[in-house]
Amino acid sequence: MIKVAFYDTREYDRPSFERYGEAHDLQFRFLETKLNEDTVELARGCDAVCVFVNDTVNKAVIDKLYEYGVRLIALRSAGYNNVDVKAAFEKVHVVHVPAYSPYAVAEHAMALLLTSVRRIHKAYNRTREFNFSLNGLTGFDLHGKAVGVVGIGKIGKIFVNICKGFGMKVIAYDKYPSADSGIDYVPLQELFERSDIISLHCPLTDESRHMINEEAIGKMKKGVVIINTSRGGLINAEALLEGIKARKIGAACLDVYEEEADIFFEDRSGHILNDELLSRLISMPNVIVTSHQAFLTEEALNNIAETTVRNIRSCFDNDGICENELCYRCGNIERCRAERKERCF
């Protein structure tokens, strides 16, 4: 029986993890708290920890996990910017779920875009109050508009296809563009200048942090719509707010926010929000915020639980070998183990 401390548990996590865990002889210790230096103690006696996007897995936490004999950090997400993979090397193995439903995220990005440009969020509230006026609800056609997609990976590719289905003109930027993809890659600055809509689908790294800043916004078309379903840190939220106030940015659709860690996933409706910037963004008529919800479909939850349980079993059954390991050994974090086909440490 492998014991797993399951941090930041939500009601929707449990059914699928209980089902797959039981079938594979895993015992989950479901904890509502997030993992950080104050809560790492709760992992004592466990073989592995299972974490999500807002758990803090820094060097101090990793050193404690190692001291407690925890041998595996199993991310139940694709992104791993919250884990210090370098600090974990040679101590604790790190695995993630590389793809659970890229469709869920790409479709959510399009849902946000359609909601925004056709003012569905406004219309919904109006008709519930029996207000059937159309004043102020004028949108615009997506057909024929230029959409700039940043990051053409699993999610970005699906978003591109969805956009093509709407008859949009797609341009893209990727740090590692793939040949023969049939995608029109352009430099990032050109994408900023030409796009009516910009959707972010690249990971958060030191390089991509605040790629949408004052300078980038300055280059964009007036009225540009910005969609972020990737990571909040890709956007400098203060610059975004200034762009909105200056009427430069036509709309923003945000599923992620740089300072979301202590806010998103919680019911704060009875509290005063201690984040002026987020409050101001939410108060804007042309900003839509969802709280890191893009992944949340039945299909994705099942895939997350199935792959996470398989990752954990694989690590303990195969002496630390798992195809979804994130390893720092050669610097190529995602591909290192896949290419070496042996234990990283």
Where does this chain bind ligand NAI (CB under 6 A)?
A: 78-79, 99, 102, 105, 150-156, 173-176, 201-205, 207-208, 229-231, 255-256, 292, 294-295
Instruction: Select which of 76, 96, 108, 292 is catalytic.
Output: 292
Is 342 among the catalytic positions? Answer: no
Indicate the residue among 207 and 267 with the shorter CB distance to ligand NAI.
207
Q: Which residue is nearest to ligand NAI (CB)?
A: 153
The whole-angstrom separation of Cα 30 and Cα 229 is 27
Residue 300 phi/psi, 5-degree rounding, is -65, -45
Is 143 among the catalytic positions? Answer: no
Q: Are strands 26-30 and 72-75 parallel, antiparallel or unpaired?
A: unpaired
Indicate the residue among 65 and 256 with the shorter CB distance to ligand NAI.
256
**In the complex, least distance from residue 81 CB atom to ligand NAI, rounded to whole angstroms:** 7
> Any idea which residue has 């709309």 for tokens?
251
Which stretch of DSSP H or E encloses residue 4? strand 2-6
Indicate the residue among 57 and 105 with the shorter CB distance to ligand NAI.
105
Indicate the residue among 35 and 301 with the shorter CB distance to ligand NAI.
301
**In the complex, least distance from residue 164 CB atom to ligand NAI, rounded to whole angstroms:** 17
Which stretch of DSSP H or E encloses residue 3? strand 2-6
Instruction: Select which of 76, 119, 231, 337 is catalytic.
Output: 231
Counting Cβ atoms within 10 Å, is residue 247 exposed (0-12), middle (13-18) or buried (19+)?
A: exposed
Indicate the residue among 47 and 255 with the shorter CB distance to ligand NAI.
255
Q: Are 48 and 71 in contact (CB under 8 A)?
A: yes
Is 29 among the catalytic positions? Answer: no
Rounded to 10 degrees, the C-alpha dihedral 321/335/260/123 comes to -110
**In the complex, least distance from residue 173 CB atom to ligand NAI, rounded to whole angstroms:** 6
**In the complex, least distance from residue 11 CB atom to ligand NAI, rounded to whole angstroms:** 17
Give the number of other CB atoms < 10 A from CB of residue 270.
5
Q: Are 59 and 83 in contact (CB under 8 A)?
A: no
**In the complex, least distance from residue 111 CB atom to ligand NAI, rounded to whole angstroms:** 12
Instruction: Select which of 258, 260, 306, 325 is catalytic.
Output: 260
The whole-angstrom separation of Cα 214 and Cα 199 is 17
The whole-angstrom separation of Cα 102 and Cα 111 is 14
Catalytic positions, written as ranges? 231, 260, 292
